[in-house]
Structure 1
Amino acid sequence: MDRLMFQPNEVDDHQQLPPIEVILKFPLVLTERIRHAVHESKFYKLECADVGKLVHRLFQMLRSVLWFADSTPLYERPVRRIFIDVAGNLNRALTLVRKCRHRGIIRRFVCILGEADFQKLFSLLDRSIGDMKWLLSIFDAVNGGIILALPPIASNDPILALVWSCIASLHIRSVNLKIEGVRELSALARDSDRIKKIIVEEGGITPLLKLLKHESSPKTQISGAMALFNLANDQNMARSIFNENGVPVLALAFRYSHVSVQTEVAKLIARIAELDSVCQEGFARQNVIETLVTLLSSSIWPRNKKESNPEISQLILELKTNCCGALWMLARGNVATCRRITETRGLLCLAKFIEKEKGELQINCLMTVVEITSAAECNPDIRRSAFKMNSPAGKAVVDQLLRLIDESDNPVIKIPAIRAIGQLARTFSARQTQVISPLVKQLCDRNPDVATESVIALGKFTCPENYLRVEHSKTIVDFEGVQAVMKMLMGSKRTNYHALVLLCYLAVYAGNNEQFQQARISTALEGADKSAAYHLNMFA
């Protein structure tokens, strides 16, 4: 019982406190002790009687909360804070009233009391009554709405009371009140990182996840997913969701919910996977990748057949876009996930969407392919299995990348396509000159970023790590790539560097080519950065 006698601010983790049952019952024990002490008081009897009246009001409120706790799902956080504070004030009342039981001169001399002591106690008990009124209003909010009143305990931080009220609404059976509370929490989470932290500290994640796990209303589930999305804005927040067993809950909701819910959950999965590698691995263990690929490769229709065709098309487009976004974030920097995508129908789906779709969906698919080709660049097993010569999926992806490089005018599309081809440089044979030709053409692109990305990609065809570097170097020279690269020596430092590296490779592996010798490369290098001589000598 003594553990209850502290200020709430001294303990940050409510798990260090006694069980909620003890916290609920202990203030009632104190009210009974105070009642006996008031009856036994010998002086300041009027003041003690006033204390007794205030304590009796608290007693009635405490019993009402106990009744609600037995019949309603309990949101413990404010209950603990308020009951501990009430218990502390009741303990002060008991101490003061007990001092009034003796008339002895020595006792009265040692324990000096005055009106000021009682006035201070009355103020504390009034604050406790105000807190209890607010707490009861939270439990009784089924037919009302979010409680905007401010309890005395949160007078220094009004946001805390609003967060408590919103989270408490998630524990109530009324669907409309839950939705109102979720939307308010979502709006609060957008306001500041400090409020996000308060929501997490006050136990807001668990009831939001429960909405996704147990609610059958798509509207409620969507609201919960959106609120969690607004909360998850950094690695700490993403990890908080993970620590509340959020990954399995989200995986389950994504697998079995309504299409509109799946769309929002896919967006949330992408956000969390982007922020935290532990969450990324967690989703992989829950087989989310297979679910994503299955959804992307099958016909998806809403359960509501009465929806008009444009609404259905938009719903499917949003789902596919967010699924591809989630696949991208799950694959980013993760070789194991990239391998799993290639072992499913994932590559064929991505190639199909890159071919037929536009906008964000196409970009998400393209960026997923970039991650997979990046994994293939550093992992021989993925290169050999997914992008071997007779792989239909690999060939389909490469064909679409080359088409985008050749046809697209959008750097946002063209640059990742070029990067992906460059990362696959070691998978192409010497006969596949159709891969090199479009890259050489991009060296003259008006967008310097596109041209630079092409130089980098061609450098991967001609670098020492590429077994066919000699053949590829000769092909680049035959396609008149030397002159284009030389012009790039006058570009930015980044462009200059990569152009110079490519020229060095070409000089080493195709320097005897007649076209290369006619390009007068030494003259061009005279106007380049002084580092040119160093690099050229290094490769000579």
Structure 2
Amino acid sequence: MEDKRIDEELTYLILLAERLRSAVEEADSFKVECTNIGNYADILAEKLRLLVRFTCSAQLLYERPVRRIVAEVFKNLDRALTLVRKCKRRSVLRRVVTIIGAADFRKVQNLLEASVGDVKWLESILGFGSGAAGEDVGIDLALPPIASNDPILAWIWSSIASIHVRPLPEKMEAANQLEQLAQDNDRNKQIIVEEGGVPPLLKLLKETVSPEAQIAGVTALLHLANDQDRVTTIVNEQGVPIVVKVLADSPMRVQTLTATLVAKMAEHDSVAQNDLARENAIRPLVTLLSFETFSDDQMVQLGKHSIHSIVQINKEMEKFSINGSKNNHHYRPYMTSFSSFHSEGSTRGGNRKERENEKPEVKLKLKISCAEALWMLARGNVSNSKKITETKGLLCLAKLVDSEEGELKFNCLMTIKEIAAAAESSADLRRAAFKTNSPAAKAIIDQLLRVIKESDSPKSQIPAIRSIGSLARTFPARETRVIGPLVAQLNNSTSQEVATEAAIALGKFTCPDNFLRDAHSKAVVEFNGVPPLMRLLRGNERAQLHGLILLCYLVLHSGNNEAFEQGRVLTALEGADRTVVAQHPKLRELVSKAIYHINLYHTSGPSQRFSYVP
């Protein structure tokens, strides 16, 4: 059943307090005790009248503590009324049956005193009334009696109420208090959300006149957005449009935190992930990520051309190849695509000059946050990955992988990895974004191969290797330049994990699902991939598993090759059942096929361990 309006509930409480006063006047016994109870009834009635007038006139009312306290006051007044009515003169039999003691009055008086304290505390946090009534009751306003067993609840109520009704500086202070409470534990976060803390924080985030207020709001929301249910609450409170607007229109410091909030929401809730993309969060993220990535002269020059001229320039510039070296300046084919993003994003959130004069560390933090947000939006999501490629985000990511280091480079690589994984499962995305003649795709591949070959950090190499593996079906047979670096990593002596990832990626080139498996398998063998692969079979369980799968694919798809005999591949396959195959029975058929196949070309003695008839 829908709750009554708060003013209706308060009006009923006032009537109940007046009934209690009438019952006190009619009492024939325990006169002193009843008079004390009547005094509390008068104080409550006066306070409640002030409160009901306030609720009727207030444009915005934080109802959660009001409703909780109203329910408690109702119970206490009703209990007091029941007790006082027993003091009215009745038949002898009724007086014998009804036994009342002083302890009953003390208990009820304490309950009414607590109710006065609760209502007085409401007065202090909501800012209604003069505070004159009931001053002699001696209530500590810092903590209402209703929350004496759980002080956190009162602090949260007070902070949320302050964000609703106090001046802006006090709103910011209250948001900071909620942030500190949220940092302590998940229970506090849950209470903040359950008690209605999300809407006022979102409203604070919209305070465009004060970046400090926006920062206070978004920081508190960041600490709440680490759980699917809480993120769902932010979404349900219409938080997504607010977050996207702030992301596009605010100063850099606010944009940085808002982009981090986008990343957290997308990470923990798939509905938020889709809603953020639907509200076009990807566009400002790519805009901010590309800020100062390309030279302003190029942007201004291209921005002056007519649409027809831009089309012609693009056609001409597409003839250029994109070099993946550190010093390349040939990312021109998509400059025009970024010009509109760049000019739009640079004029938002304040003066363009102010944005350019921001400290380098502020700009770097913003790009790190935007790259992380794109990563989380793309993760496991084909539609969002497609939207990133449609904003020409691939070229920007390639440029940043080329020029940056550390966290920004890692976040860009992880974004590319997610887009590549989406392309692996979507033929449409592969065709649209990773065509062999696409300059953006070529730029991405160049940078991934450079990272694989030149980086000494597994943290960077692994996402680059996985990306190449996901794109295995996009490479023509002649594109052997991607095979060599992967084969080289099979021989990685410093990180078995990198070597294993290289084996997994090569497995996608040589597996039955790849139409060009034969050509790719021959290329792996020609790049001398068998010896390091045999060493990988002596690694940990994961390395053995994927090394064995790749070895079987090479045997089945590369034809007759002396490398198998020289590498004692047959012996390795025959011994596989004692280790890997025993733990992964589904491999038995694959290994059996490989042994049968290799025996077709090497007649030095067919194996009796497996028998396979095609």
- In structure 2, give the amino acid aligned to 1:537: S
By how many angstroms is 1:102 displaced? 3.0
* Contact 2:207-2:213 at 8 Å conserved across structures: no
Q: Is the counterpart of residue 436 in structure 1 residue 490 in structure 2?
A: no
Q: CA deviation at 1:440?
A: 1.0
Task: Select 1:255's aligned residue among 248, 254, 270.
Answer: 248
Quote how far apart the aligned CAs of 1:379 are: 1.1
1:41 is the counterpart of 2:34: no
1:171 counterpart residue number: 164
Q: Are 2:41 and 1:55 aligned?
A: yes
SS at match of 1:216: coil
For residue 102 of structure 2, the aligned residue among 94, 108, 115 is 115
Q: Does residue 279 of the first structure (1) align with residue 296 of the second (2)?
A: no
Work out the CA distance in 2 between the residues paired with 1:92 and 1:280. 51
Matches within 5 A, 1:478-493: 478-493=526-541
2:236 counterpart of 1:188: no
Q: One-letter code of the match for 1:458?
A: L
CA shift for structure 1 position 435:
0.9
Does the residue aligned with 2:22 lie in a helix, a strand or coil? helix
Q: Partners of 1:436 and 1:48 in 2: how far apart?
A: 93
**2:482 aligned with 1:402, yes or no?**
no
- Structure 1 residue 111: deviation in Å? 3.8
Report 1:435-474 matches (<5 A): 435-446=482-493, 447-474=495-522
Q: Residues 66 and 178 (structure 1 numbering): CA distance in 2 closer, same or farther, change over 3 Å?
A: same
CA distance in 1, matches of 2:218, 2:469: 38
Pick one of 119, 124, 146 that aligns with 2:111. Answer: 124
Tell me the SS of whatever aligns to 1:171: helix
Contact kept in structure 2, 1:269 and 1:326, CA below 8 Å: yes
- 1:303 Cα deviation (Å)? 2.9
Q: 1:92 — aligned with what?
A: 79
Query: What is the rounded CA distance, in whole Å, between the counterparts of 1:95 and 1:490 in structure 2?
Result: 83
Q: Relative to 1, partners in 2 of residues 1:84 and 1:308: Cα closer, same or farther, differing over 3 Å? A: closer
Partner of 1:9: none
Alpha-carbon distance in 1 for matches of 2:102, 2:551: 93
Which one is further off, 285-294 or 90-99? 90-99
In structure 2, the partner of 1:418 is 465
**In structure 2, what is the equivalent of residue 427 of structure 1?**
474
Alpha-carbon distance, 1:386 to partner:
0.8
1:27-426 alignment, distance < 5 Å: 27-69=13-55, 70-71=57-58, 73-140=60-127, 149-214=142-207, 216-298=209-291, 299=342, 303=350, 311-426=358-473
Closer, same or farther in 2 for the Cα pair 1:34/1:475, shift >3 Å? same
Report the Cα offset of residue 213 of structure 1. Answer: 3.0
Counting matched residue pairs gives 522
Q: Identity rate of aligned residues, in percent?
A: 53
SS in 2 for 1:65: helix
**Cα deviation per residue 1:387-415 (whole Å; 9 max; x = unaligned)?**
11111111111111011111111100011
Letter of the structure 2 residue corresponding to residue 512 of structure 1 = N
Letter in 1 for 2:541: K
What's the secondary structure of 1:17's corresponding residue?
coil
Aligned equivalents of 1:107, 1:526: Cα separation in 2? 98
Distance in 2 between the 1:130 and 1:244 partners? 32
Counterpart for residue 144 of structure 1: none
Would you say the 8 A contact 1:463–1:505 is kept in 2? yes
Question: Structure 2: how far apart are the matches of 1:523 and 1:42?
Answer: 106
1:189 and 1:121 map into 2 onto residues whose CA distance is 37
Distance in 1, Cα, partners of 2:577 & 2:496 = 18
- CA distances 1:171-197 after superposition (whole Å, capped 9, x unpaired): 123112111111111111111122122
CA pair 309-269 structure 1, distance change in 2 beyond 3 A: closer
Q: Distance in 2 between matches of 1:186 and 1:529?
A: 57
The CA deviation at 1:522 is 2.3
Q: Kindly state the Cα deviation for residue 383 of structure 1 after the two structures are TM-superposed.
A: 1.1
In the TM superposition, what is the alpha-carbon distance from 1:313 to its structure 2 partner? 2.0
TM-score by length of 2: 0.80
Counterpart-to-counterpart distance in 2, 1:310 and 1:409? 34
SS of the residue corresponding to residue 164 of structure 2 reads coil
Partners of 1:48 and 1:97 within 8 A in 2: yes
Distance 2:158 2:23 in 1: 36
Instruction: Give the direction of change, closer, same or farther, for the CA distance of 1:114–1:523 in structure 2 (3 Å limit).
Output: closer
2:12 to 1, 20, 26: 26
- Which region of structure 1 is more displaced relative to structure 2, 517-526 or 122-131? 517-526
Any conservation in 2 of the 1:72–1:172 contact (CA below 8 Å)? no
Letter in 1 for 2:36: D
Amino acid at match of 1:53: N
- 2:46 and 2:569 mapped to 1: Cα distance? 94
Q: State the shift of 1:67 in Å.
A: 4.3
Larger CA deviation: 377-386 vs 42-51? 42-51
Q: Deviations along 1:411-442, whole A, 9 cap, x unmatched?
A: 00011101100111111111111111111111
Tell me the amino acid that sits aligned with residue 48 of structure 1.
Answer: C
Q: Distance in 1 between matches of 2:189 and 2:503?
A: 45
Native 8 Å contact 2:385 2:419 kept in 1: yes
Q: 1:538 is matched with which residue?
A: 593
Task: Write the letter of the residue equivalent to 2:283.
Answer: E
Where does structure 1 lack aligned partners over 5 or more consecutive residues? 1-14, 142-146
Give the distance between the partners of 1:407 and 1:61, measured in 2 at CA. Answer: 74
**Alpha-carbon distance, 1:304 to partner:** 6.5
Partners of 2:511 and 2:517 within 8 A in 1: yes
Matched-pair contact (CA < 8 Å) for 2:564–2:570: no
Distance (Å, rounded) in 2 between the aligned partners of 1:109 and 1:489: 93
Q: 1:39 to 1:524 in 2, by over 3 A?
A: closer
Query: Is the 8 Å Cα contact of residues 462 and 506 (structure 1) preserved in structure 2?
Result: yes
| Length-normalised TM-score, structure 1 | 0.91
Call closer, same or farther: CA 1:498–1:77 in 2, change over 3 Å.
same
Q: Which amino acid aligns with 2:153?
A: L
Q: 2 CA distance for matches of 1:465 and 1:309?
A: 50
Please name the residue that 2:559 is paired with.
Answer: 511
Displacement after TM superposition at 1:306 (Å): 8.6
Instruction: Determine helix, strand or coil for the equivalent of 2:15.
Output: helix
In structure 2, which of residues 523, 539, 544 is the aligned counterpart of residue 475 of structure 1? 523
Q: CA deviation at 1:107?
A: 4.3
